[in-house]
Amino acid sequence: MENIRVSVILCTHNPRPDYINRVIGALAKQTLDYNSWELIVVDNASDAPVRKMIEIDWHPRAKIVVELEIGTRHARNRGYLEMQSNLAIFVDDDNILDPEYLQKSMEIADKHQNIGVWSGQSTGEFETTPPSWTEPYLKHLAIRKLDRDYWANYLNYTSQPFGAGMCVRRNVLNHFFFISDFPLRNHFGTSGVELSRGEDSDLAFSALNIGMGIGLFRSLKLDHLIPNIRLKEDYLLRLIEETTYSNVIVRYLHLKEIPESRKSVIGLIARKLRCINNTAMENKFEQARQRGYNRAHILIKKEIGLG
C-alpha cells in the first residue's frame, strides 16, 4: 500500500441517509485514481450502524470502522490510527466535494511542503432559502468564498482552515494527538448533540507548534449541506456562544493568552454604546458571544489557579 497518497477520513455520527449517500457519491466521482487514495469511514457511535446506510464496494481501498468514544476528536483519532498515507483529508457527513478536490489537495501538498494544514472554500446548499437576518451569521456554518489564496505561519484567523475538507499532514497529526490529552481540551469540541466547537482550529493551529503553516486555497471547493434546523434563531445563538467559548480556550492553549475580565469601566461603556446602535437581533448575538467569553474566562482562570 506504499502508493496510497491520500487518506479520506469521513467521520459521522447518526448521519442523515440522504446526506451521507450524497457525500459518498461525490467521493466516487473524484478524478484522482482510486489506487492513489483510501477511504476510511468512522462510524462514531451512531444509533443505527452506518454500514447499513452506505455502499462503498466501488472503492478497492475502503473500509468502515467504529469508534465508540463519542466526539469529533475521538473519531478523527481513530481515522488517524487507521490511515496508510501521509496526508489525511477530513470530510464531514454533509460535505459534497468537488470532483477534483483530492487531486488538487495532493498537488497543494507537493507544491507547498511548508504548509501543514489547509482547506478551501465552501458554498452552502440550503433546504430552504435562509431568512435575510441570518446573512451575517452564515460564516459560522462553515460557508466561505475566497477572493485569493491565503497562508500564514502564525495564529491567523484569516488563513484558518475549516474542518470541512481539512487536509492535514501526518507529522501534524502525530504532534496533535500526542498533545491532545491536555485537560482543557475536554471542555470543548463536538460530541453528539452538543454544539461546542474548537477542534478544527485546535488541530489547524497545532501545525504552527512544529514550525509549519496553515492555508486556504481557492482551487479546493465543496458544498456544505445545511438543514433547516441550522437556520433557527435558537440554534445560531447557541452555536455562536459555543464557538466563542471554544475559540477563547484554543487561543489560550496555543498562545497562553489569558482572557481579560470584561468588567472594566471602559469596556462596559464601549459595549453599551454598541448595544444602543445595534438592532434587537444583533444584541441577542452580542450577548451570546459575551456568555461564551465569560464561561471560557472563568474556566481558564480556574484551570490555572487564578479563579
SS (H, E, C) 175-214: HHHHHCCCHHHHHCCCCCCCCCCCHHHHHHHHHHHCCCEE
Above 50 in pLDDT, residue 120? yes
Check residues 63 and 1 and name the one with the higher pLDDT.
Answer: 63
Q: What is the pLDDT of residue 187?
A: 75
Above 60 in pLDDT, residue 251? yes
Check residues 280 and 84 and name the one with the higher pLDDT.
Answer: 84
Residue type at 9 in one-letter notation: I
Q: How far apart are CA 38 and CA 181, in angstroms?
A: 28
Q: What is the pLDDT of residue 96?
A: 98
Check residues 262 and 119 and name the one with the higher pLDDT.
Answer: 119
Above 70 in pLDDT, residue 275? no
Statement: the pTM of the whole predicted model exceeds 0.85: yes
Most confident of 112-116, 187-191, 294-298: 112-116
Above 90 in pLDDT, residue 279? no
Above 50 in pLDDT, residue 6? yes
Q: Which long-range contacts (CB under 8 A, 24 or more apart) does 25-29 make?
A: 26/96, 26/97, 26/99, 27/59, 27/91, 27/97, 28/58, 28/59, 29/99
Average pLDDT along the chain: 90
Q: Which of 10-19, 97-106, 183-192, 248-257 has the lowest mean pLDDT?
A: 183-192
Return the closest-CA partner of residue 246 out of 185, 302, 161, 205.
185
Position 151 confidence tier, pLDDT thresholds 50, 70, 90: very high
Q: Tell me if 167 sits within 8 A of 210, measured CB to CB.
A: no
Q: What is the pLDDT of residue 145?
A: 94
Q: How far is CA 290 from CA 140, 244, 245, in A?
A: 16, 8, 9
Above 70 in pLDDT, residue 190? no
Summarize the confidence of residues 163-182 as an average pLDDT.
90
pLDDT in tens, 27-73: 999 999 999 999 999 999 999 999 999 999 999 999 999 999 999 99
Above 90 in pLDDT, residue 3? no
Q: What is the pLDDT of residue 183?
A: 75
